[in-house]
Amino acid sequence: MGRYLVQRNMLRIILITFVIMINVGCDQISKNLVRDRLHYYQKISLVKDYFTLTKVENTGAFLGLGSNFPPLIKKVIFSILPAAVLVIALFVLLSKLNLGFYAIFGLCFMIGGGVGNVIDRIRYESVTDFLHIDLGIVSTGIFNLADVSIMLGLALLTIQHFFPKANTISASTGSPEDS
C-alpha cells in the first residue's frame, strides 16, 4: 500500500508540473511570437474589431497601474513579491493532498500565469500584452495568455469554493472523501 501511495503522489506532482509548464509555455511562446512579428500598437483584426491583436509593453500592473513607480519599488512590487507568492502557492498546492480537482487545476493555472508574467518582468522589465476584446458595451484592456490563465484559475477556485465537495478526491486513498 505504501508504494502505491508514493507512486500516486509522484504522478500527482508530475501532473501538476505538466499543467503549470503548459501554461507557462503557451504564454511565453505567444509573447515571443508577438514580440518578433508585431510592431508596437499595430492592430491586427482577428474577428472584425471584436477580437484584435495589439502589441504593448506594460511596465506597470493591471492597466498600467504603477508604471511610474521608481525602478526599485517596481522590482519589489512586480517581481519579488509575486515570485514569493507563487512559491507559497506552489508549496500549498504540493503539500495539501486533499485539494479538489477545481482547486488543483485553478492553482496550476494561476501559478503558470503568474510565472509567465514574472519571467517577463525579470527579462524585459515589462509584460508583453497583445489581446483585446471589444464587444461594444463590454471591452477589455489589452492582456496576454498569462492573464487568461490567472483568470481561468480564479474561476476554477471560485467553483471549488462554492461547491467544495465537487470532485474532491483524497490523494492518500484515491477515493472520494467522506466528510
| Active site positions, annotated | 129, 147
Distance, in Å, from the CA atom of 25 to the CA atom of 135, rounded to the nearest integer, reads 29
**Where does residue 61 rank: exposed (0-12), middle (13-18), buried (19+ CB within 10 A)?**
middle
Report residue 162 as a C-alpha cell: 462554492
In 3D space, the residue among 53, 44, 15 whose CA is nearest the CA of residue 130 turns out to be 53
* Dihedral, CA of residue 85, residue 32, residue 153 and residue 176, to nearest 10: -100
